[in-house]
Amino acid sequence: MNPPCTNLRYVLMYRLIGILLFVGWVTSVAGQSGSRWHFVFGPSVTVGNAFVGGATSVSAPDITGAHHILPMFSPLWGYPNPQYSGMENLGRKLHMGFQYERFFNQKVSFVTGAVLGARGYIIKSDFSNDLLVSYRTYTVPAYISFCPWPGRFWSFRQNIGAQFLLSSAIPEHIPRNINVEQKHVFSPQIYFGLEMIHNSFSAPFSFEIGYAQGFVNMIKQQYLGVDYFTPIPIYSNGSAFTFTVKYLLKEKIDPINLKRVTVEFDEYDLLAYRNVKDPVKVQVKSDSVQICVFDDQTVDGDSIAVEFNQRLIHRNIMIERQAYCFNLVLSPDASNTLIVHALNEGKIPPNTCVIQINMGDETQVVRLKSDMKNSGAIQFYR
């Protein structure tokens, strides 16, 4: 029976994996913005290997000396084994497979797939040849990928989630050295990775350094090489550091469902797009002036809008015999430009009006003509 702390550890681990898978499912369903297929390959270094009791060394001084269990770098796995096909032998040196990535923006995605690889260990002996033992693994990754560190040319993605491993220990027996008690073991692992990807969204290659932490003995092998009689259990939980090259095979970017937005302009918004004629320049002697607008000829129903220093100050003034007057306060930091926009052209085009400028004891009159495309203007200066 496992101690309570061990049971709690497994409960927490499975809950974490469940949460990550749920988040990944929500991401893949709700995102609906694209996907990628990658071919992945690379070496690994298996750690987490030990003899019974957690020792990394055992010895029989009078027989075979000391025996040390060491991590295994996968490309150092021995010569091709006739029990495997060429691809299986290659898979023991380099993990390889396919990954499917579902993303909804450039920063968050969910990754799964299928990868063939290997884990293993090396037993280094003082008085005999080194023994290299590996076991094949079939891996299904399931993790969330974030991009918290975007760069100018390269970005770094942080991958957090799980791996599900099925180990296969073959051969079952190495004469006078290894006996295998359990051939196949299924084990979930926690996975962390740091991936470097080029900012061109469809860059062909990305590179990832990852670590998988296992919790279950993947092999249950017995080592006989100490005295060739007494079996010593070997523990290997399949933990490993991996370096993975990802080659982009296919990318599909789903169209974004854009809501159709209707932008409505009123007649005053459209005034900003009219051409403004060269302004009539008027010199003033004070900080404020009075403006009076009227028609000194035939009243034909003209109406205007008045803009001053890029602000619409009067929306609708009817041009009549009787003057419509208002005051302007000039600003030392603005152009002090008065623009007259025609709202119509009356019965006799174009729109005409008289602008009387009262500056204390002095008065100046300016006659402006405007139409539906061009607006008259006056600029005041001191």
Range picked from 70-79, 166-175, 355-364 for highest mean pLDDT: 355-364
DSSP state of 225: T
In the prediction, which pLDDT does 339 show?
94
As a whole number of angstroms, the distance between CA 18 and CA 15 comes to: 5
Least confident stretch, 72-86, 111-125, 230-244, 312-326: 72-86
* Mean pLDDT in residue range 198-202: 60
* Mean pLDDT in residue range 1-17: 49
Distance of alpha carbon 286 from its chain centroid, rounded? 60
In the prediction, which pLDDT does 114 show?
94
Q: Per-residue confidence at 29, pLDDT binned at 50, 70, 90?
A: very low
| Residues 300-322: tens digit of each pLDDT | 889 999 999 988 899 899 999 89
Whether the pTM exceeds 0.85: the reply is no
In the prediction, which pLDDT does 52 show?
80
**Residue 9 pLDDT > 70:** no
Centre a 10 Å sphere on the Cβ of residue 72 and count the other Cβ atoms it contains. Answer: 23
pLDDT above 90 covers what percent of the chain?
34
| Residues 173-183: tens digit of each pLDDT | 566 677 777 67
Domains and CATH numbers, the chain: 4-253 (2.40.160.20), 269-381 (2.60.40)
As a whole number of angstroms, the distance between CA 205 and CA 246 comes to: 6
pLDDT above 70 covers what percent of the chain?
78
* Mean pLDDT in residue range 122-145: 85
Q: Identify the three-state secondary structure at position 31.
A: helix
Q: Which residue has the tokens 């090259």?
A: 245
- Residue among 198, 236, 201 at smallest CA distance from 217: 236
Rg of the Cα trace of the chain? 41
